Amino acid sequence: MSGFKSTDRYIASRDLEVAVNAAVALQRPLLVKGEPGTGKTVLAHEIANSLGHPLIEWHVKSTTKAQQGLYEYDAVSRLRDGQLGDERVKDIGNYIVRGKLWEAFESGEQTVVLIDEVDKADIEFPNDLLLELDRMQFFVYETRQTIKAKHRPIVLITSNNEKELPDAFLRRCFFHYIRFPDRETMEQIVQAHYPDIKQDLAREALTVFFKIRDVPGLKKKPATSELLDWLKLLMIEDLSPEVLRSKEQHVVIPPLHGALLKNEQDVHLFERLAFLSRRG
Amino acid sequence: MFASFVLALRSAGLPASITEYLTLMGAMKAGVADYSIDDFYYLCRATLVKDERHLDRFDRVFGEVFKGLEPPEGMPIQNLPEEWLKALAEKFLSKEEMDKIEKLGGLEALMKRLQELLEEQKGRHQGGSKWIGTAGTSPFGNNGANPEGVRIGQQEGRNRRAIKVWDKREFKDLDDTVEIGTRNIKLALRRLRKFARQGTPTELDIPETIRTTANNAGYLDLKMVPERHNTVKVLLFLDIGGSMDEHVRVCEELFSAARGEFKHLEYFYFHNCIYERVWKTNRRRNDNMTPTEEVMRKYGPDYKAIFVGDASMSPYEVSHPGGSVEHWNDEPGSVWMERLTKHFRRSAWLNPRPRNAWDHAMTIGMLRKVMENRMYPLTLGGIDEMAKELNK
């Protein structure tokens, strides 16, 4: 079968391809977890691109309710209109605001729905969407109509692991954990994003990058997105690879480290290590 | 067809169900894994595992059940003690040394020899050229340099030969009985949350608004309520010094996570067992003691008491008056523990020592009895269990 494959801009490992294709084939949601900055959200864009479907994004916040993805009944404006004697008030349908899932269900073609950072919401959020994601339909109480998906959308759900997801919800999903890419994959990813980068610069930068990730005790390890930002900076500044080359095992603070280390404690830790290695 | 695999997963503690099994069958039928073992492995993983903490266990079961599927070059990992395989050192061999390593005569012979050695050897081993362990030149173990070696539990394939993904067990440190970090602890502690509305009114109170609007002859009269906040109250008792020194890091993490998570958090230190006094600062502990009686008077039964300690000491320190190693105590520690657990109806003990070591110290059993079995290991799983118990 054809399905989803790595593109020249997004390098997907084989296990990710299998997981996506399984989710597409069986029309079940795919739950993706992984370190921040390993391309969970970008994945949805790439699936939509490679399958040629429109993408509908639903970004979840701590205040998001499951109902908001279906529809909302704006009672307050109806009440206000009622008191002002507006004609619109006679039809309750005027006050039903459609949510992202409704949009996806009503769409004339198959869509890709991204439910981003599902763990940010209340612990009951996934449970409230069980039936809707299973049957791809829901009932609007106010207007007594059932909204049914014309084409079952491909649903991608990302999570940063802030909350445990309920078992009943998990049972209905495929699951994939994006592992941090190894050096080889990382080289491909860098190639995909900056095809005209100087080879020796990329090599030195990757060495420095993986060395930083190996430093014990970092609060936030830099991930793929940080590496790409940093490389862009290095390219703009047109630094020569020699600057990055450290004297063997010694730890040196890399130039433009602001793109990699996002935390002043981490920078301090690094300065201390650099100081120690100079002395030692 | 793969029912035995699903059953094996379940007996290994993975929550795989009929639904997932049927999904897997459906996906196979749809041709997602076209006759490729790797794809089949990935598909099984995406279908049957729903939590990255279970990935390691999944890999182990997969390797066991589908032993015949993998090419004969790999071999299933034996149950080697963890600590052997911790890669403690890297040893770089010279060219001559490499040459010196004789091939021991094909794979069969290697496997047989490994079995023999496993029988023969009874401890952790590092370096050297015969035993199984790390950084040696024996053909068995990891981080070694025997060109014909069998890799056991190495972090990543050094030369990428003969490694099957499920034997690599890359997701090892995500098992929830191993890793623990401030953020993770915070998430586990969140289970203890209890919400109540306090503070400035910022949210629309719909039932009240409807009522007052009706009273107001239909004209809108908005009513607000305060937002919900976490109001759980926690009292931490931390064992400090002595045998607790080796657990300092994990206790610090627990402490800072608890500080961040709970608004109403109070803490006291004790040594080994609680007697008639506890203290808040370790440096000036001698002139800064708080009588335990006062703690019970000041903090009501609505506080949840959590004791953190390894509970490992001499039995006298728990059972006898005067047993304390630091001062003369008129009443035995168990009496004080009983008093505290009676006062704080929701209480639990977190023990940084692993559960399987609990039988080694007699006092752990004694304190467990006092706690009515509410003792949990200081791991994410343990904190989770504790939170469930405290919320009952």
Tens-digit pLDDT string for chain B (392 aa): 678 888 888 888 888 888 888 888 888 888 877 777 888 888 888 888 888 778 888 888 888 887 765 444 434 444 444 444 433 333 444 445 444 444 444 444 545 555 565 555 544 444 444 444 444 444 444 444 444 444 444 443 333 333 345 555 555 544 444 445 566 666 667 767 666 666 677 788 888 888 888 888 778 788 888 777 777 888 888 888 777 777 777 777 777 777 767 777 888 888 888 888 888 777 656 667 888 888 888 888 888 898 988 888 888 888 888 877 777 788 888 888 888 888 888 889 988 888 888 888 888 888 888 888 889 988 878 888 888 888 77
3-state secondary structure of B90: coil
Nearest to B13 by CA among B54, B74, B67, B62: B54
**What's the pLDDT score for residue A112?**
93
**What's the pLDDT score for residue B293?**
85
Ranking A83-87, A124-128, A172-176, A244-248 by mean pLDDT, the lowest is A244-248
| CB-CB under 8 Å, A163 with B50 | no
**What's the pLDDT score for residue B266?**
83
The bridge status of strand B195-204 relative to strand B224-230 is antiparallel
Q: Residue A272 burial by CB count (10 A; 0-12/13-18/19+): exposed, middle or buried?
A: exposed
**What's the pLDDT score for residue A100?**
92
ipTM of the complex: 0.71
**What's the pLDDT score for residue A270?**
76
Q: Which amino acid is at B52?
A: E
**What's the pLDDT score for residue B156?**
39
Nearest to A58 by CA among A109, A98, A95, A94: A98
Residues 11-30 of A with CB under 8 A from B: 14-15, 18-19, 21-23, 25-26, 28, 30
Chain B residues close to A165, C-beta within 8 Å: 50
Say what the pTM is.
Answer: 0.57
| CB-CB under 8 Å, A26 with B23 | yes
Q: Edge-to-edge strands of the sheet including B133-134?
A: B133-134, B140-142, B150-151
Residue B299: Cβ within 10 Å count: 18
| CB-CB under 8 Å, B32 with A21 | yes
B37 vs A73, residue with greater confidence: A73
Nearest to B13 by CA among B175, B244, B166, B163: B175
Q: Find the mean pLDDT for residues A94-99.
A: 91
Determine the residue of chain B that is closest to A23 in CA distance.
Answer: B27
What is the number of alpha carbons within 13 Å of residue B135 lying toward its C-beta?
12
CA-CA distances (angstroms) from residue B343 to A73, B84, B275?
49, 46, 15
Distance CA B310, CA B288 (A): 24
**What's the pLDDT score for residue A97?**
92
B202 interfaces chain A, CB cutoff of 8 Å:
no
Contact predicate A159/A118, CB 8 Å: yes
Summarised one tens digit per residue, pLDDT across range A187-234 is 888 888 888 888 888 888 888 888 888 876 677 788 888 888 888 888
CB pairs under 8 A between A and B: 77
Chain A residues close to B218, C-beta within 8 Å: 83
Give the position of tokens 């802030």: A162
Give the position of tokens 């100081």: A275
To the nearest whole angstrom, how far is the Cα of A266 from the nearest Cα of chain B? 16
To the nearest whole angstrom, how far is the Cα of A129 from the nearest Cα of chain B? 17
Nearest to B175 by CA among B167, B164, B184: B184
Of residues A26, A31, A80, nearest to B27 (C-beta): A26
Positive/negative CA dihedral, B211, B212, B218, B222? negative
The CA-CA-CA angle for residues A249, A254, A256, to 5°, reads: 175
- Number of residues written out for chain B: 392
